[in-house]
Amino acid sequence: MKAIWYEKQGDALDVLTYGEVEKPTPASNEVLVKIHFSGLNPSDTKRRVGFRGQKHAFQTIIPHSDGSGVIEAVGNNVDSKRIGQKVWIYSAQWQRPYGTAANFVCVPSNLAIKLADTTSLEIGATIGIPALTAYAGLFKYGEIKNKIVLITGGAGSVGNCAIQMAKHAGAKVISTVSSDKKMKAALNAGADHVFRYDSKNLVEDILSTTNRRKIDLIFDVAFGINLEAHLDLIKDHGIISTYASDKKAIAEVPFQKFLLMNLTIYSVFMYVLTDDMMQNALEFIRKWQVNSGIKPFVAKIYHLEKTADAHLALESGETIGNIIIDCRNE
Ligand SMILES: NC(=O)c1ccc[n+]([C@@H]2O[C@H](COP(=O)([O-])OP(=O)(O)OC[C@H]3O[C@@H](n4cnc5c(N)ncnc54)[C@H](OP(=O)(O)O)[C@@H]3O)[C@@H](O)[C@H]2O)c1
């Protein structure tokens, strides 16, 4: 089969190789999936470059954790009725060497989730990391119906997905972005109000849409940078869920202010959700597909052979939407 792989960390054009590798065979409890689309996320490029000290954990790595496809064969202990099922995949390359940037992948059966009949395989490849992160950050502390939720980075893969999920769950959603183009993307996802985060009046802008009611839950992509403004926006006993702080790894926390507000800070790392949280997330995602439908948010589709270009596009920070890779040999 054709695949992309790398044997050492480095820049995309230096280390990503396209070529022929052996087609895998499913072991016990595994399924063999013919990949249609591989989903690219920042964790894939960060792992490839060794971001914040990440080690090259396997001799050969086929990248990408997310994807979609059709089950072609199953190993022992897996119901053969799964053969032919359309699935979305998550965590394929989390603590495992071979991910979805290939014609086929073998994964434990529980990582290949049945797609709703109405969800396309293109959209299926965008679900994994964004949706599981968004679910955990939004729902860890219970339902959000009628709550005011601020979702920063509403044109990002995770943020955009979170807007859709929070609206599906009945929240009032405010979002922030960096440009007018990105504002459109956040509005398309369903946000009730969207503001530029570089506005000098951000706090006032946001409170003007809520009758000055403070925010119940903030789902944040840039914890270190945004914390100061967020402490002026979050209500007492509120929750700040955060999943990234790329530009400021060490955040300064004004402890007294924080203490008096009885705040909860939840750091989301989607790869290690509890089993309960994961089951709840999968059930939510299933119903969300069936009841609302997931709005497509695909920026560009690259051919498998051009995966290095896809990595460069993601790293440029210029794309709006998910980048996916077409892994079919067509
Ligand atoms: N913890 C986890 O489990 C987990 C899961 C998924 C992703 N992540 C991490 O989360 C980050 C985002 O992932 P992604 O796939 O959503 O990336 P993405 O598609 O690049 O989106 C990130 C978005 O955040 C915006 N942004 C940056 N700084 C901001 C700020 N101060 N305020 C508001 N918005 C801001 C960016 O806009 P501008 O660039 O225009 O500012 C961009 O639209 C990455 O670092 C990724 O590795 C973590």
- What's the pLDDT score for residue 330? 59
| Residue 160 CB–ligand 1 contact under 6 Å | no
3-class state of residue 49 by DSSP:
helix
What pTM was estimated for this model as a whole? 0.98
Residue nearest atom 9 of ligand 1, based on CA coordinates? 244
> What is the Cα gyration radius of the chain?
20
CB 294 within 8 A of CB 313: no
As a whole number, mean pLDDT of residues 221-239 equals 97
Topology of domain 2-127+294-326, CATH? Quinone Oxidoreductase; Chain A, domain 1 (3.90.180)
pLDDT over 70 percentage in the chain: 100
Residue 156 alpha carbon to ligand 1 centre in Å: 6
What CATH code would you report for 131-271?
Answer: 3.40.50.720
As a whole number, mean pLDDT of residues 72-88 equals 98
CB 100 within 8 A of CB 124: no
| Residue 156 CB–ligand 1 contact under 6 Å | yes
Provide CB contacts within 8 A for 94, sequence distance 6+: 65, 271
Q: Using most ligand atoms within 8 A of CB, pick from 221, 246, 268, 322 the residue to mutate for ligand 1.
A: 221
- Which atom of ligand 1 lies nearest, measured to the CA of 156? 21
Strands (E), 66-191: 66-74, 86-89, 104-108, 112-114, 148-152, 172-177
Q: In terms of C-beta density within 10 A (0-12 exposed, 13-18 middle, 19 or more buried), how is residue 318 classed?
A: exposed
pLDDT over 90 percentage in the chain: 98
- Every domain of the chain and the residues it spans: 2-127+294-326, 131-271
Residue 243 alpha carbon to ligand 1 centre in Å: 8
Selection from 245, 246, 237 nearest residue 265 by Cα:
237
- Which atom of ligand 1 lies nearest, measured to the CA of 152? 33
Task: Convert the pLDDT of each residue in 241-272 to its tens digit.
Answer: 999 999 999 999 999 988 999 999 999 999 99
Residues 304 and 38: their CA atoms lie apart, in Å, by 9
Task: Convert the pLDDT of each residue in 15-27 to its tens digit.
Answer: 999 999 999 999 9
